[in-house]
Amino acid sequence: MTRVGVWLIGARGSVATTAVLGALAVRSGASGRTGCVTERPEFAPARLPGIGDLVFGGHDVSEIRLCKNAERLARAGVLPAHLPPAFADELDRTEHRLRRGLHAAATTGVGRRDVDRLEADLREFAEREALERVVVVDLSSTEPRPEPHAEHTDADALEAALDAGTARIPASSAYAYAALRAGCAFVEFTPNTGPRLPALARLVERSVVPWAGCDGKTGETLVKSALAPMFAARALHVRSWSSLNLLGGGDGATLADPANAESKLASKARGLEHMLGHGPDGPLHIDYVPDLGDAKVAWDHVSFEGFLGARMTLQFTWSGYDSALAAPLVLDLARLTAHAHRRGRVGPVPELAFFFKDPVGTREHGLAEQWRALTSWCAAPEEEAE
């Protein structure tokens, strides 16, 4: 049986906990597969690794154990109440595979020892669990945009700064660097810099591994990527598109910091101009509302112009649990990225744009076109897929 490792950065967070518990429940038959894109019949020709073949480990700086976080998510209504106690032993076994991560505040002085430790954790995980390959998925908190430094653009400068213990790189890029050195595929599920650091480009090619990203498309932006192409195709002129996002939980608290929110806002806004062919007016806000807990709410107001200048509007509200929306996509991306690795793909995989707000390797943001690219790739014979 093919065993694929899924190493989660932010492994004790809400999305990671939901993904791990969900995979355990699906494997045992205790839960259905609703929300798992790769369970659709279009993906059968790709012979993806099964959800039950995924083995989880990860890095985190949190001390809250998976079982405790799962219980909290059940109390909040994100998870069925019966699942955390039913899989407590399996969650504990996953807990034993978790390792101490990098603190984001420490990345002003990342050294060779830090990257070596992260890499060693990945190699030890793959060897101990007898894994065919490992996919690293970044589910960590959103980082501020990094200030430019020489080690961001030049590979030699990065190596020298790491040797001196003075590299000023984002934590996500340190994790990506370690993953590439360990020969692991990488998924940047956040708007963080990760493998996009220019100095890592040469390492990506040398490591002969694929990577996918960036910023998982789970809610409001998913709706936008379906609606915006509709306006463009019907030659309706969008005058303004205003968006208000209300978030609770840890993600909301992180994005309450304007420096952290900048990356997320840029990621959310980037696709709209590409899909419409112009940048419409209208603000885009993310506000922290602690009372919402693990829920998020988005309200959008679209002002558009039709034949003979008739002014019209569309409004929609999206409300959901981000962890429940994101977790099945994490499982999908782990399976698909492992598939790309098996097929010998190197560098960004644009066929996976369907899952991201700010996809790498392509300028296509329309959901329908992204879906066609993804399913065509998975249906193609292996000798044609590249």
pLDDT of 9 over the 80 cut: yes
Instruction: Describe the strand order of the beta sheet including 295-305 as a list of residue ranges.
Output: 284-288, 237-247, 295-305, 311-321
What average pLDDT does the structure give for the chain? 92
Q: Check residue 257 and give its pLDDT.
A: 82
Residue 183 and residue 312: Cα distance in Å, rounded? 52
Q: Check residue 137 and give its pLDDT.
A: 98
Task: Indicate the pTM of the whole model.
Answer: 0.93
The 10s digit of each residue's pLDDT in 299-327 is 999 999 999 999 999 999 999 999 999 99
The 10s digit of each residue's pLDDT in 96-105 is 999 999 986 5
pLDDT of 107 over the 60 cut: no
CATH 3.30.360.10 for domain 220-320, yes or no, is: yes
pLDDT of 127 over the 80 cut: yes
pLDDT of 223 over the 70 cut: yes
pLDDT of 22 over the 90 cut: yes
Q: Check residue 267 and give its pLDDT.
A: 75
Of the candidates 206, 160, 158, 162, the one whose C-alpha atom is nearest the C-alpha of residue 180 is 206
How is the chain split into domains, by residue range? 4-216+324-379, 220-320
The 10s digit of each residue's pLDDT in 173-215 is 999 999 999 999 999 999 999 999 998 877 777 788 999 999 9
Lowest model confidence (mean pLDDT) among 95-99, 162-166, 266-270 = 266-270
Q: Which whole number is the average pLDDT over 31-44?
A: 96
Q: Check residue 193 and give its pLDDT.
A: 92
Q: Which whole number is the average pLDDT over 43-61?
A: 96
pLDDT of 385 over the 70 cut: no
Q: Check residue 105 and give its pLDDT.
A: 56
CATH says 4-216+324-379 is which class? alpha beta
Q: Check residue 168 and give its pLDDT.
A: 86
pLDDT of 157 over the 80 cut: yes
Q: Check residue 371 and give its pLDDT.
A: 98
pLDDT of 384 over the 60 cut: no
Q: How far apart are the first and last CA of the chain?
A: 25
Q: Which whole number is the average pLDDT over 328-348?
A: 96
Q: What percent of the chain has pLDDT over 90?
A: 75
How far, rounded to the nearest angstrom, does the alpha carbon of residue 281 sit from its chain's CA centroid?
A: 28
Q: Check residue 108 and give its pLDDT.
A: 64
